[in-house]
Amino acid sequence: MRVEHRDTFQLGRWKPSRIDVLKLYCVMLKQLDGCWQRPSFVFLLAASVVLFVTVFYGQSLTTPLKQFRNASSVVLDSQWKKVLTFFGNDDFYLYVVGIVLSIQIPFWSVGCMFMFVDYYNWPRWTRKYKLQPGTHEPVDLNRLKETIRVVLINQWSVSIPLLVSSYFMKKFTNTMPIIDDLPSLQRFIVDFIIFIIVDEIGLYYVHRLMHHPKLYSWVHKKHHEWPAPIAITFVYSTRIEYILNMIPVVLGPLMTNPHLFTLWAWYAFVHLRGLKNHSGYHIPGLTSSEEHNYHHMMNNACYSRSPFLDRLHGTDKGFRAYLARKELEKQQQQQQQQNSVSSLGSSTDSTMTWTCITLNDSSAVLSLLLIGGGNSFSM
């Protein structure tokens, strides 16, 4: 008897129809209900789809992807040449003015949007995303003016002189970033990952140092004048704190000497992230700013931008307990609402039953009266 060896996996005699596949898909969606609102789950799902497509269709997609990459690189390079021409191919303007614009444009465009929302409390639907509703609502105008003044002083009287000094230092040490050709996507991603890791580690320990009792009052206390922060308070600080906060941000670029475009993108990202973390809102689709908001409330926990080092050092225990209390209160409120709806339904049923009984009694009395009236009339 000859035995056939099959290397391929088969499903036996079951051949799934489109209806079966649709049913299986619906079951999967039901199991995943509620996960779609988590950014981490969405990211994991997208990564899984990319991995699946790469594994099963990577060979057939190689040529189109190469063509797309080549075409896009040509377009991006031509646009970058226009940027270089706009700045006159002058490395001073490209480095100093370019970095200033990459910071100021995103910071003040997004910051003014948040200031408008916080000052006018409009549109109203944004209130449901507020992490500390009722605090600084609306924002005091005089306090807002003072905050803007401090932010502008830090950005223009501290940041720009340091930026100009770093330009001449780079020229002297021959470490100016590459300007002519755009970096490859791989180099851009690797540089960005290094920046984020170095910034995360550096900021955590610098931040904890500024909370030391001997340093806090004259270095970091000003930043905590806003227990419920607004977006632009990201740069609301003393000058010494502003410089200390810059160290982790510039340390990564000093290590890798990236392309100028990568520098622009990094500084824009840092300020947009800072605006989001200090906005006081949980913006759907983005990582929550609730952790840093808790830091401003309690002043003794959650020192990093991401939860990893706080979890490692145990400086997020209070925050996790706070989240557990919030979740418990939310469940209790939902239970109370369900109980109130149930009691309302039962009282409605009782009222309807009593009404029916009353109507039945009234009809019985009316019938007796009619019968009695008929008899007396015939008499």
Listed in sequence order, the DSSP H helices in the chain are 18-31, 39-86, 91-92, 98-120, 141-153, 160-173, 185-210, 213-215, 239-256, 260-278, 290-298, 307-313, 317-378
How many of the other CB atoms lie within 10 Å of CB of 289? 22
Query: Which two tokens mark 221?
Result: 């206390």
Mean per-residue pLDDT for 144-163?
97
**pLDDT band, very low/low/confident/very high, at 306 (cuts 50, 70, 90):** confident
**Amino acid letter, residue 172:** F
Backbone φ and ψ for 181, nearest 5 degrees, come out as: -95, 140
Mean per-residue pLDDT for 238-251?
98
Distance CA 67, CA 262 (A): 24
pLDDT of 251 strictly over 70: yes
| pLDDT of the residue at 223 | 98
Q: Which residues are within 8 A (CB) of 195 and not within 5 positions of it... i.e. 6 or more apart?
A: 252, 253, 256, 266
| pLDDT tens-digit series, residues 103-123 | 999 999 999 999 999 999 999
Q: In which residue are the tokens 């002519």 written?
A: 180
Mean pLDDT, the chain, integer: 83
Distance CA 106, CA 276 (A): 12
- Indicate the pTM of the whole model: 0.75
User: 281 pairs with which residues across the strands?
Assistant: 130
Listed in sequence order, the DSSP H helices in 156-184 are 160-173
| pLDDT tens-digit series, residues 10-43 | 444 555 555 665 666 566 555 555 554 555 556 5
